[in-house]
Amino acid sequence: MSAVTSRCRLHTQGRDSQRNLQRSIAARKVRDGLPGLVAALAAHADEWAVEEGGPFLLDGRDLKASAFFPRPLPANGSLTARDSA
């Protein structure tokens, strides 16, 4: 009886590890696609700003000023508390 229980447990663990592997592969694909989506959104926001003559506002704030759009590092290459906010 113990051998049957052990074999069943190994089978379940194998299935869980396969499921976790598939989940991590899917998450990596999504993560790898994010920079392209952000770049496309930034390009569309820029086009909109040119056409409309002002920044694209989301909830009253400039979309390009949000945390989703990385800012270039300062010339010295280090961030201060003010730069990261």
Is residue 31 within 8 Å of residue 4, measured between CB atoms?
no
Instruction: Identify each DSSP E strand in 29-71 by its residue range.
Output: 57-58, 61-62
Is residue 16 within 8 Å of residue 24, measured between CB atoms?
no
> CA separation (Å) from 67 to 12, 24, 71, 83?
41, 25, 9, 12
**Quick check: pTM over 0.75?**
no
Q: Delimit the domains of the chain by residue range.
A: 2-72
Q: Phi and psi of 61, rounded to 5°?
A: -125, 145
The pLDDT of residue 65? 80
First to last CA, the chain: 61
Quick: pLDDT tens for 23-75: 999 999 999 998 888 889 888 988 999 999 998 888 888 888 876 666 666 66
